[in-house]
Structure 1
Amino acid sequence: MENKKREILNVHRYRVACKEFDSNKKIPKEDIDFLLEVGRLSPSSFGFEPWKFIVIQDDKLKEDLISLTLDCEKQISTSSHLVMMLARKGSDIIYSSDYITYIMKDVKNIPEDEISERREDYRVFQRENFKLLNDKEAMFQWSIKQTYIPLGNMITAAAEIGISSCPIENFHREKLEKLLEDNGILDSSKFGVSCLVTFGYKKDKVYIEKARRPIGEVVEWIK
């Protein structure tokens, strides 16, 4: 058990956002499928999975996408795989939507007599607890926060099997979403772009332990 703990901590100590990958090395299909499955199995608030993962392999689309980012050319152009995290918008994740019904009824197989109760719990959460209803942007931002759970799981799992990664937020969302719509990839009435993440094998092979604040500054115990 102690050996396993040390292994896990070492992965976290040395995992960094990779700025340039070895463009000659490609991730095997079974490994990228593994990372996508890790993302799929990730938890979400209420278990409603308000996300979709788009794997972009088209070189022309990558070039167009690079032009909409700032200082991210190497991360994207040298990567083996580029994954785009999409977040569902309010029309899909409001408590009364067909999507929420589908998740409860067809995915989770919740009995009919329990669906109304669960929907009401979700309505109270949206209306009273987090005050998301009637605010489309707040609903979308809530979905975006959910996508960072599979993102974190995927980049950690990647590091554990020797694959580097780089999450990317530095892009023009409106222009990127238009590009995706023009290419028939995105329905902007249902989804928006949350973030991008590139995967591959680090080019320079140099790993430096992270600098972080001491644990006493990060954690406070209330007894």
Structure 2
Amino acid sequence: MKKQEILDAFMFRHACKEFDATKKIPKDDFSFILETGRLSPSSFGLEPWHFLVIQNQDLRETLVKAAWGGQKQFPTASHLVFVLTRKSHFMKYDSDYIDGFMVNVQGLPPEIVEMRKGFYEAFQAKDFKLLESERAMTDWAARQTYIPLANMMTSAAMIGVDSCPMEGFDRETMDALLASELGMDRDKFTLGYAVAFGYRKEAPMEKTRQEMEAVTTWYE
């Protein structure tokens, strides 16, 4: 039963292009969805994200001007979430943010912090070569933020809530708007994506996916 319920949720989920603006997600349900985002895993457990829940309609009208991919979703969604990515200099192995996170959030003793920073430095410098450019590090951090996106959309689908992930925006313009309208610190963050939640206005098209054999190779 549990397996089928999960598969049913994946079949239910689709990129909802327009929501029924008259229907609002109950507070407890949205708190549950957001909690599944907060509890999501990330590389080295460093959580390079911040969630902005945009409920003010006037603010949505301002932001949608820079979001060609959210013209129907921004105004009609019950809840609209912008997920910020922490920028490269905060994610570098020797940053004050990493030190503080390991001590204050993860509760690690000094010797373990130093050991883990050594592993983290090797990973960034050699394994993934993230120190070669700011773009490489920021893109790597952004990839971590897509884990809570998937978890939030799945948990929403499991309780009958629709969603739509969106990258259809001019990032430079949107970052400037978030800085001017909400005081986002552009030295710390850039917008990763937006995701809208609510209830579908119309039935979606039939889901299409490749067959398992087309996307899977087994070696035994």
TM-score normalised according to structure 1 size: 0.95
After TM superposition, the structure 1 stretch with the greater mean CA deviation from structure 2, 206-215 or 145-154, is 206-215
**Contact kept? 1:14, 1:208, Cα under 8 Å:** no
Structure 1 residue matching 2:163: 3-state secondary structure: strand
- Report if aligned partners of 1:87, 1:193 keep a CA contact under 8 Å in 2: yes
Match runs of 1:55-70 below 5 Å:
55-70=53-68
Describe the shift of the 1:71–1:36 C-alpha distance in structure 2 as closer, same or farther (beyond 3 A): closer
2:217 is the counterpart of 1:220: yes
Partner of 2:131, secondary structure, is: coil
Mapping of residues 4-153 of structure 1, within 5 Å: 4-153=2-151
**AA partner of residue 170 (structure 1):** G
Task: State the alpha-carbon separation in 1 of the partners of residues 152 and 69 from structure 2.
Answer: 23
Whole-angstrom CA distance in 2 between matches of 1:57 and 1:101: 34
Matched, 1:210 2:197: no
Aligned residue in 2 for 1:199: 197
4+ residue segments displaced more than 4 Å = none
**Residue 166 of structure 1 aligns to which amino acid in structure 2?**
C
Aligned pair partner of 1:176 in 174, 195, 214: 174
- How many Å apart are 1:184 and its aligned residue? 3.6
Instruction: Select the residue among 163, 180, 193 that pairs with 2:161.
Output: 163
Letter in 1 for 2:20: D
Ranges in structure 2 where 5+ consecutive residues have no aligned partner: none
Cα drift, residue 120 of structure 1: 0.5
In structure 2, what is the Cα distance between the partners aligned to 1:171 and 1:207?
23
Q: CA contact under 8 A between 1:14 and 1:209: conserved in structure 2?
A: no
Q: Using the alignment, how far apart are the partners of 2:182 and 2:115 within structure 1?
A: 37
Q: Could you tell me which amino acid in structure 1 is paired with residue 152 of structure 2?
A: M
| Counterpart-to-counterpart distance in 2, 1:40 and 1:76 | 22
Higher deviation after alignment, 64-73 or 14-23: 64-73
Stretches of structure 1 lacking an aligned partner (at least 5 in a row): none
| RMSD of aligned residue pairs (Cα, Å) | 1.1
Cα 1:125–1:186, aligned 2, differ >3 Å: closer, same or farther?
A: same
Residue 208 of structure 1 and its aligned partner are, at CA, apart by: 4.8
* TM-score, length-scaled by structure 2: 0.97
8 A contact 1:39–1:151 mirrored in 2:
yes
Structure 2 Cα separation of the partners of residues 210 and 24 of structure 1: 26
SS at match of 2:66: coil
Matched to 1:148, the amino acid is: Y
Q: Counterparts of 1:168 and 1:138 in 2: how far apart (Å)? A: 22
> Could you give the per-residue CA deviations for residues 67-108 of structure 1, whole angstroms, max 9, x where no partner exists?
111142111111011000100001111001111111111111
CA-CA distance at 1:15 after TM superposition: 1.1
Q: Are the counterparts in 2 of residues 13 and 209 from structure 1 also a CA contact under 8 Å?
A: no
1:185 CA drift (Å): 3.0
- Could you say what secondary structure the match of 1:128 adopts? helix
Equivalent residue letter for 2:157: A
